[in-house]
């Protein structure tokens, strides 16, 4: 009787474990995106070139991230976007989301 009950609950436990893994994965990816966009915006505000700021953002961001830089009236806006996937090879397409982080910084005067 205990074996039958365990067998009915086991798939629910596995599904819950994958759900928790997915949530943690999304959170870590969002933190990496925020770090990447913030670092890039900070470099641009200090007067660094756009290419070096994009390189820094790609270094901090997950693989496959896109970096978009815009400047308007002394304000720099950096957006970093990536398609997040579950970190399990055979379920990589399940629960994929597009995550974005945007940072804004005012240009510093020399």
**pLDDT value at residue 61:** 92
> What residues does each domain of the chain span?
2-106
Q: What pLDDT score does 75 carry?
A: 94
pLDDT at residue 6 in the model: 79
CA distances from 48 to 13, 17, 56 (A): 50, 44, 11
Sequence-ordered list of residues with C-beta below 8 angstroms from that of 71, at least 6 positions apart, any chain? 44, 77, 107
- Per-residue pLDDT of the chain (110 residues), as tens digits, is 678 787 888 888 888 988 888 888 889 999 999 999 999 999 999 989 999 999 999 999 988 899 999 998 889 999 999 998 776 677 666 667 899 999 999 998 76
* pTM value surpassing 0.85: no
Look at residue 4 in the predicted model and tell me its pLDDT: 78
């Amino acid at each position: 009787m205990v074996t039958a009950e365990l067998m009915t609950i086991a798939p629910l436990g596995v599904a819950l474990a994958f759900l928790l893994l997915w949530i943690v994965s999304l959170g870590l990816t969002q933190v990496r995106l925020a770090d990447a966009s913030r670092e890039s915006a900070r470099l641009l505000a200090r007067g660094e070139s756009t290419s070096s700021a994009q390189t820094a953002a790609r270094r901090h961001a997950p693989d496959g991230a896109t970096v978009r830089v815009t400047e308007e009236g002394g304000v720099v806006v950096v957006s970093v976007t990536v398609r997040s996937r579950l970190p399990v090879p055979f379920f990589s397409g399940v629960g994929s989301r597009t995550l974005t982080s945007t940072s804004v910084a005012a240009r510093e005067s020399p």
